[in-house]
Amino acid sequence: VFFFFKQKTAYEISACLVGSEMCIRDRYTAIECQKEKITFAAVHDSYWTHACDIDRMNEILRQQFVRLHGQPLLEELRDSFEMRYPYIEFPPIPQRGKFILSEVIN
């Protein structure tokens, strides 16, 4: 699920949540790079490795993006809010668009 926050969405999702998502994705990527003995560093949306490992790091980044965003993140967030705040009625989650997540791998 991709959100661009320059416009209003059905949910007012804070930058903290987006930052948390980025941290999770980067952690997944760092773990996979470490398994393959690839030097990896990241700050925000900038990634570094040795020139000889760029293509593989790019593959790993894409795989981990799909891994993270293939999960029902908004549904799980809504469910946790509904359990924590049963007296609040939350709006429905917006329908997913036509973006095909698996195409990120290509």
Residues marked active site are found at: 45
Q: What SS3 string covers the chain? A: CCCCCCCCCCCCCCHHHHHHHHHHHHHHHHHHHHHCCCCCEEECCEEECCHHHHHHHHHHHHHHHHHHHCCCHHHHHHHHHHHHCCCCCCCCCCCCCCCCHHHHCC
